[in-house]
Chains A and B, each alone.
Chain A
Amino acid sequence: MSASRAADATNAARATRATGGWRSLLRRPSLLVALGLLLTLGAVWGVTLYHANQPKTLDQRTQEVASQLQCPICHGESVADSPSGLASEMRALIRQKLSQGESEQQVIQYFESRYGDAILESPPPQGFTLLIWVAPLLMLALGAYVVFVLGREWGARPAVATAPTEEDAALDLSDEERQRLRETLLREMEADEGLSYGALDLRKGNA
């Protein structure tokens, strides 16, 4: 009688939810361990970030500036990436300017004044070009909102409304219906590998 077994399982699951569930988590000592670990994590990351603020090497600074500039004679490659001779000369010039004490911003502006906006690997995020960043984020926010609204709908619906009750189990099902339900249940149990908790408990109970 798989149908009634399913009902048993859901009842059992619901009982667990009512008595324990989220609240019981708070009473476990493992929670303290987890909290401790998270605090350690925060401390380690804090210290690391504090130490990470060391001045960058000339190599790193050259690389950073070069990767923000577009190689003028290539198809979609930055000055940092391009194997062309011109890019190589530009990298050398960047390095020279940086070592003479110019800031990264000054070097980029120097190239911008020579070659125009098109030299920038990514356009400055302002005005029209801000759209590049804004549109994907808006779409993502919209999608997240849809998922959130759906989620709230599901969460608000009482579990009883969808879970089978004793009445369901007692219903006079036709053989075909019973077979169909049995197969649905089995498919779900199989996919969850019998490790999913409802299914496992259910089998123990009937063993």
Chain B
Amino acid sequence: MRFTDLGAIVLALALVFTLFALGASALGATLRRPALVASGRRAALVVAGFLLIASGSLIASFLTHDFGAVYVAQHSSLAMPWYYSLSAFYGGQEGSLLYWATMLSIFSSIAVLLHRRAEPLMAWVVVTLMSIETFFLVMLNFVTPPFTRITIPPLDGAGLNPILQDPGMLIHPPMLLMGYMSWSLPFAFAMAAMISGRLDAGWLRSIRRWTLAAWMIQSCGLLLGMWWAYHVLGWGGYWGWDPVENAALLPWLTATAFLHSTMVQERRGTLKVWNLTLIIATFALSIFGTFEVRSGIISSVHSFAYSSVGPFFLGFLVVVLAISFGLFFYRLPQLKPEAEFDSVISREGSFLINNLLLAGVAFATFWGTIFPIISADLRGQTMTVGTAFYQQVNGPLFIALIFMMGVGPLLAWRRASASSLLRLFRWPALAAVVSAIALPLLGVTGFWADLALAVCVFTGVTILYDTWRGMRVRHGHGESYPTALAMLFNRHRQRYGGYVVHLGLVVLAVGIIGSQFFQTQGEGQLKVGQTLIVSGYSLTYLGITDVTNNGVETIQTHFNVSQNGHVIEQVAPGERIFPGFENQPASIVAISTHQLKDLYVFLAGYDGSTSATIRVFINPLVSLVWAGGLLMVVGGVLCWWPERRRAARLVPARVVAAQPALVAAGEEATS
């Protein structure tokens, strides 16, 4: 028996067990038969086992170069190193869907094992997750089977698309697909809450960490995508408002809104309708994202797998929307707010504005992405919606969002007093105004750049100032400053973790502003010995090298870079030509960082050894984009990390009384 046969068998079995888990859980929950529910739960675990075996079989087929399997023959070759053979797993349609299904089954199992106690809700969570799983398994069994064989295997495979033979591509697509997949869990809990009618804050508490995890995975996927685009595509940027990039950003935007508005529901029992809408939208958008990348309905730099699965995904999307919004309207009478708002100038008011802005960005992005399809269908007119639209509409909204990010977390719940506003914001506001005055004098002459940077200063200072105030209060009670900081994070991980995420976003925003407004570029065809000067950097062409290693031909052009007459380094932009893809070279972009400025050199063309055409970009502050992104992920982990049980709660009252008054406040009333 071959690995592919094993894979095909377990895929079929996985579908059977998925259907069983679905039926048993639904019946068990309706008829109140705990034994059936438990059986459904176990079946869900079995599905994960089968899918792991299926994925393992596909990996084994790749590693053993079993070219009798069509998928293996189409996406790998003998010459490929083992790690690219591994990444060929998700290099095509079938493997991507198998990956999606496998990850979903693993996450479902974790949910089943973790939430054993949330009995009544869990049965319906399993039902929802297994319904999603059913769709993917039907696709894998009947529409895009990954284990199809041909009778006469080719001697060598076709190899992997060169664009995918890049270290960034090893982790970017699986991360993004996993990001899309991971929204299934919050969605499943929301569906379970709606089906069972238990619409209190219970389901929200259960998914808080699932949502955070999904948010982090999606953030990583987005950042890796930006990193990959910057290092491979050769146009000097990292975000082009390309349809595929937009599709990945959309669920991230609605989920970010959801993460904030759930806090309002948890605390104040309001915004229930809005929260459900957001989570349904997030899941639907992640299905849309998976489908859009795959379908090729919109032309994009990122699409590498075209196929016929589009209509199936569209059908699934319609079913998901119909069922979830049907349930939603059925339960609408039960979604009454428990409390009323007191004032707009409050934490919940600021979250409302933040949600409005995020929803605005999401809608504009969605609209710009699908408008070419609408236009083509209604008017038969093909068009593209370029970056200008997104910059005009989303740019100001993002600036407002960053401003709200500074204001919101500091406002008290219910109602913030005027004097507290003054106390909280006088220094940040002063810093913002001073920087807005100073920046034009320092050469930042554009209105939007100046405004955006001043807003970033405001929010950054607000976050740091508030953390400092927290430290000072604790210091006043006898803790050293480092201890105070550690204790703040330890005690209020959500809050300060959130601050780290916000600070990361501010840093990232500064990076975007820098590279957006202050990029300079030059282009030229150089003969050996000639020099191109781009804003202070002189690039002198030295010559070309051509090395073939393992069938991969690497062509590199070499340049001396000098500044003020001194040679500071050598750069070597070039391209790689993979066997079988002679007309699809993968570019090697030379990127070097000098004091937060990236020197980005792309080889646009060469004429034998006589001349080379290069494009040179000077990108200020791009490093901050990566640093900020990293900071956001770290903050996300801090928020997500399970909190230790509060030992202090169990400590006798007299010990608590000896603690500083402020620290003790929490325990005092409960002890």
Chain A residues in the interface with B (C-beta under 8 A): 2, 13, 16-17, 20-22, 24-25, 30, 34, 37-38, 40-41, 44-45, 47-49, 51-52, 59, 63, 67-68, 70, 74-78, 80-83, 85, 88, 91, 117-118, 120-123, 128-129, 131-133, 135-137, 139-140, 143-144, 147, 150-151, 153-155, 157, 159, 162, 182-183, 185-199, 203, 207
Contact = CB atoms under 8 A, between A and B. Distances in A.
Contacts of B375: 128-129
B666 A203 contact: no
B300 A132 contact: no
10 contacts: A44-B441, A59-B522, A83-B234, A117-B381, A122-B388, A128-B379, A129-B383, A135-B367, A147-B352, A195-B469
B384 interface: yes
Contacts of A153: 341
B605 A85 contact: yes
Contact of A193 (B385, B492, B521): B492
B237 A81 contact: yes
A75 B299 contact: yes
Contacts of A131: 371
Most buried by B among A16, A45, A63, A76: A76
Contact of A132 (B368, B423, B669): B368
Contacts of B523: 88, 91
A21 B661 contact: no
Contacts of A48: 440, 445, 450
A154 B437 contact: no
A44 B440 CA distance: 7
Contacts of A49: 445, 447
Contacts of A40: 437
Given A37-B437, A128-B379, A154-B340, A191 B233 contact: no
A21 B392 CA distance: 38
Contacts of B325: none
B406 interface: no
B389 interface: yes
B510 to A, nearest CB: 20
Contacts of A81: 235-237, 240
Contacts of B564: none
Given A48-B445, A151-B349, A155-B344, A16 B419 contact: yes
B417 A118 contact: no
B445 A75 contact: no
A118 B299 CA distance: 13
B301 A77 contact: yes
B299 A76 contact: yes
A175 to B, nearest CB: 13
A117 B383 CA distance: 8
B128 interface: no
A136 B341 contact: no
A192 B413 contact: yes
Contacts of A193: 470, 488, 492, 495
B235 A82 contact: yes
Contact of B437 (A41, A136, A162): A41
A37 B604 contact: no
B81 interface: no
Interface in B585-616: 587, 602, 604-605, 613, 615
Given A191-B495, A207-B661, A16 B417 contact: yes
A154 B386 contact: no
Contacts of B582: none
Nearest to A137: B393
B402 to A, nearest CB: 17
Contacts of A117: 381, 383
Given A51-B445, A151-B344, A76 B301 contact: yes
A78 B387 contact: yes
Most buried by A among B378, B384, B473: B384
B240 A21 contact: no
Most buried by B among A25, A41, A128: A41
B669 A133 contact: no
Contacts of B426: 30
B20 to A, nearest CB: 42
Most buried by B among A68, A70, A136, A196: A136
Contacts of A144: 356
Contacts of A22: 418
A70 B670 contact: no
Interface residues of B, number: 89
Given A76-B242, A78-B387, A188-B413, A118 B382 contact: yes
Contacts of B240: 76-77, 81
Interface of B: 233-237, 240, 242-243, 267, 299-301, 303, 340-344, 349, 352-353, 356, 359-360, 363-364, 367-368, 371, 375, 378-379, 381-389, 392-393, 397, 412-413, 415, 417-420, 422-423, 426, 429-430, 433-434, 436-437, 440-441, 445-447, 450, 466, 469-470, 473, 488, 492, 495, 520-523, 587, 602, 604-605, 613, 615, 661-662, 665-666, 669-670
Most buried by A among B267, B340, B419, B423: B419
A194 to B, nearest CB: 5
Contacts of A37: 430, 433-434, 437
A25 B423 CA distance: 11
B475 to A, nearest CB: 13
B440 A85 contact: no
A45 to B, nearest CB: 6
Contacts of A122: 384-386, 388-389
Contact of B665 (A30, A63, A74, A194): A194
B339 to A, nearest CB: 9
Given A16-B419, A81-B235, A136-B393, A194 B413 contact: no
A55 B473 CA distance: 54
A66 to B, nearest CB: 10
B386 A78 contact: yes
Given A162-B342, A197-B423, 7 more contacts: A44-B441, A48-B440, A68-B386, A83-B604, A122-B389, A132-B367, A193-B488
A71 to B, nearest CB: 10
Contact of B417 (A13, A135, A147, A182): A13
Contacts of A2: 669
Contact of B387 (A121, A123, A129): A121
B180 to A, nearest CB: 21
Contacts of B470: 193, 195
Contacts of B604: 83, 85, 88
A143 B422 contact: no
A203 B37 CA distance: 50
A25 B299 CA distance: 56
A141 to B, nearest CB: 10
Contacts of B364: 136, 140
Contacts of A159: 342, 415
A88 to B, nearest CB: 6
A20 B418 contact: yes
A83 B151 CA distance: 42
A157 B340 contact: yes
A150 B473 contact: no
A110 B395 CA distance: 30
A40 B435 CA distance: 12
A195 B473 contact: yes
Contacts of B353: 147
Nearest to A45: B440
Nearest to B605: A85
A83 to B, nearest CB: 4
B492 A154 contact: no
B237 A139 contact: no
A67 B386 CA distance: 9
Contacts of B495: 191, 193
A151 B356 CA distance: 13
